[in-house]
């Protein structure tokens, strides 16, 4: 489980609610809210 504001590292994460994929390409990137539904839980 990854939440907005965490730094989960490089990878592609999927919104729990709408399935939108968010890619982080640097391990220092902070997880943003979902760009589609603005929820904060990803896996
Ligand atoms: Zn979403």
Banded pLDDT at 42 (limits 50, 70, 90) = very high
Q: Kindly report, residue by residue over 1-37, the tens digit of the pLDDT.
A: 999 999 999 999 999 999 999 999 999 999 999 999 9
Token readout for 2 is 């990854």
User: What are the residues whose beta carbons fall under 8 Å from the beta carbon of 33, sequence distance 6 or more?
Assistant: 4, 39, 40
So what's the pLDDT on residue 41? 98
> What spacing in Å lies between the alpha carbon of 35 and ligand 1's midpoint?
7
Domain-by-domain residue ranges, the chain?
Answer: 1-43
- pTM for the whole structure: 0.90
> What spacing in Å lies between the alpha carbon of 38 and ligand 1's midpoint?
6
């Amino acid at each position: 489980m990854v939440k907005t504001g965490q730094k989960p590292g490089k990878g592609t994460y999927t919104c729990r609610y709408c399935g939108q994929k968010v890619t982080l390409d640097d391990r220092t990137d902070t997880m943003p809210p979902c760009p589609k539904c603005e929820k904060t839980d990803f896996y």
